[in-house]
Chains A and B, each alone.
Chain A
Amino acid sequence: DVVLTQSPLSLPVTLGQPASISCRSGQSLLHGDGNTYLSWFHQRPGQSPRRLFYEVSKRDSGVPLRFSGSGSGTDFTLRISGVEAEDVGLYYCMQGAYWPQTFGQGTKLEIK
């Protein structure tokens, strides 16, 4: 199975400051069809996960513009330009280029 390694695993951030989460894959996530199947999810405490981005940087409806997804091949990044209180929780990356799809370990974002 493809291993996704997220860092950091814990991310304390001051309100209004930027934040960045890395997701590194053991193999390139560039599929033979030309797409790169890397998604990002956010899970607030006590809630189900919500997808933020698919195919690296395609934003889901309603995702604030302060969030951005980038990367290629094996290295991917989720950025928040200025953290707000509602951004706390767990962030997961997921790859869908290889079967079975796999998730990163999760990164816990908290407010300092």
Chain B
Amino acid sequence: EVQLVESGGGLVQPGGSLRLSCAASGFIFSDHFMDWVRQAPGKGLEWLGRSRNNRDGYIIEYAASVRGRFTISRDNSKNSLYLQMNSLKTEDTAMYYCARDGDLAYWGQGTLVTVSS
């Protein structure tokens, strides 16, 4: 069974940093694209970026809205995906989800990030 479990969310001050993790199980992690998507309170879904798979050399792609502030990485030995978020702004407050594959076939339960002073 495919499982994705996010962690690392919490309350952080504007300008601060946070690192989110996504632990994957139930599939061969290195074979799959892994994406980050967020949802601000009461708002819609926003794609943030992805790590491609082994065949694509684990190329990382970012949405324009977070490029330069957020960094995606993965550790295939730990079946884990990460999202390092720097220079956080109040508008980054959201539920952050990891999802498998470019077409987001599977989603985690999300981890809540609150940016507030």
Interface residues of A (CB under 8 A from B): 37, 39, 41, 47-51, 54-55, 60, 92, 94, 96, 99-106
Name the residue of chain B whose CB is nearest to the CB of A55: B103
Query: How far in angstroms is the closest Cβ of chain A from B22?
Result: 12
A-B contact pairs, 6 of them (CB 8 A): A48-B107, A49-B107, A51-B104, A54-B105, A92-B45, A96-B102
Contact B103 A51 (CB under 8 A): yes
Contact B47 A60 (CB under 8 A): no
Residues of B in contact with A, size category: 10 to 19
Q: Which residues of A contact B45 (CB under 8 A)?
A: 41, 49, 92, 94, 103, 106
10 additional contacts (CB under 8 A) given A51-B106, A54-B103, A101-B47: A47-B109, A48-B110, A49-B104, A51-B103, A51-B104, A51-B107, A54-B105, A55-B103, A102-B47, A105-B44
Question: Within the assembled complex, what's the spacing in Å between the Cα atoms of A55 and B105?
Answer: 12
Q: Is B36 an interface residue (CB 8 A)?
A: no
* Known contacts A48-B97, A48-B109: A96-B44 contact under CB 8 Å: no
Question: Within the assembled complex, what's the spacing in Å between the Cα atoms of A36 and B29?
Answer: 26
